[in-house]
Amino acid sequence: MPASGFPATRMRRNRQADWSRRLVRENVLTAADLIWPLFVIDGENQVDPVPSMPGVARRSIDETVRMVESAAELGIPAVALFPNTDPALRDDAASEAVNPENLVCRTVRAVKQAVPEMGVICDVALDPYTSHGHDGIMRGAEIVNDLTIETLIQQALVQAEAGCDVIAPSDMMDGRIGAIRHALEDSGLTKTMIMSYAAKYASAFYGPFRDAVGSSGTLKGDKRTYQMDPANTDEALREVELDIAEGADMIMVKPGMPYLDIVRRVHESFGVPTFAYQVSGEYAMMMAAAENGWLDKDRVMLESLLAFKRAGASGILTYFAHDVATTLRDTGGVA
């Protein structure tokens, strides 16, 4: 190394102390970036752990409300509700999905009454309600698009009428965003937001979720005729473009970590609020390794979520939401 002081640029200078690392930090994760998915079951005082998702449980409405109160105290802006419907109520037509008194609608009302400031997001898809575990209505082996949309519209309306703030169609039928948007407008539900799972892939990372909502045992075949091929990226942009044109307010990419390239492309191409879902399988992988002592849970949790911010996500649906918001509070609010 010459005495002249070469190299002039030493990238390590800014990294040498905590204060300077904080000062030049490009992205931060805060509680306001988080959406917490919650699984709901019938009953009272019920907390039923999901074995493939350590730390996650299905809870009855009263217990769910307690969790939402705690999330609100931590500054988490929104929760996403997923019902585990009684198998006796599941049928080929997904009739329970459109029942205004179904589990998810009752949960929405209880949550909004107890914590009105909390954003409530409901999934629109038929898989928690069908006897075959598919997201749509079947005729033979086919998931029939337009027939399914008729039920999705009714499902969205009962959820919005129950007080749900954000309708999140995760079914991947063609044209459902426009159909739901028109139905909401026609019903005077003009303020209800739509977060479209526009780029949702046919992924193997959803396994533990299907355990949690009780559809894994019943699902026949796979979802490749409606969810996207993991090989594709241009197709994701076409999906997003259509959903924005049909009236989506926010866009979701799913799964998360294996699809950060899609998050980045969607965010850069459209500048629309873009969310990512760190799905059940991603959570299960990290928790399994942490439980074995192979990874430091808190550190991988923070690092994995920061990656979404770096990719351009406005926020992240994550089963870590409560945990990470607690860590952020205890360590000064940002990571």
Q: Active-site residues: which are they?
A: 200, 254
- Nearest distance from residue 179's CB to ligand PBG, in Å? 17
One residue of 33, 96, 123, 165 binding ligand PBG per CB under 6 A:
123
150 annotated among ligand-binding-site residues? no
Directed axis angle between helix 145-161 and helix 176-186, to 10°? 40
Query: Residue 211 interacts with ligand PBG (CB under 6 A)?
Result: no
Residue 56, phi-psi category: left (phi > 0), alpha (psi -120 to 50), beta (remainder): beta
User: Can you state the percent helix, strand and coil of the chain, rounding each to 5?
Assistant: 45, 20, 40
Q: Alpha-carbon torsion 66, 71, 77, 78, what sign? A: negative
Q: Considering the complex, what minimum distance in angstroms separates the CB of residue 46 from ligand PBG? A: 21
Q: Applying CB under 6 A, does 96 fall inside the site for ligand PBG?
A: no
Q: Using the rule CB under 6 A, is 318 a contact of ligand PBG? A: no
Beta 142-143 vs 250-254: how paired, if at all? unpaired
Q: How far is the CB of 125 from ligand PBG (least distance, A)?
A: 4
Q: How far apart are CA 322 and CA 176, in angstroms?
A: 32
Token pair, residue 233, equals 């990226």
**Taking the complex as a whole, how short is the minimal distance between the CB of residue 312 and ligand PBG, in angstroms?**
21
243 binds ligand PBG (CB under 6 A): no
Residue 266: what are its φ and ψ, rounded to 5°?
-65, -45
C-alpha atoms less than 13 angstroms from C-alpha of 100 in its C-beta half-sphere: 6
d(CA 220, CA 134): 8
Q: Which range in 10-18, 119-127, 239-247, 323-331 contacts ligand PBG by CB under 6 A?
A: 119-127
Cβ at position 199, least distance to ligand PBG in Å: 13
Phi and psi (nearest 5°) for 253?
-115, 135
Work out which of 33, 96, 135, 165 binds ligand PBG, going by CB under 6 A.
135
**By CB under 6 A, is residue 257 in contact with ligand PBG?**
no
Contacting residue, 201, 206, 275, 320, with ligand PBG by CB under 6 A: 206
CA separation for the pair 258, 203 (Å, rounded): 10
Measured distance CA(274)–CA(264) in Å, rounded: 9
x-or-dash pattern for ligand PBG, window 144-183, by CB under 6 A? Answer: --------------------------xx------------
Binding residues: 239
Question: Which residues are at the interface with ligand PBG (CB under 6 A)?
Answer: 123, 125, 127, 135, 170-171, 206, 209-210, 223, 279-280
Annotated binding site for Mg(2+): 239
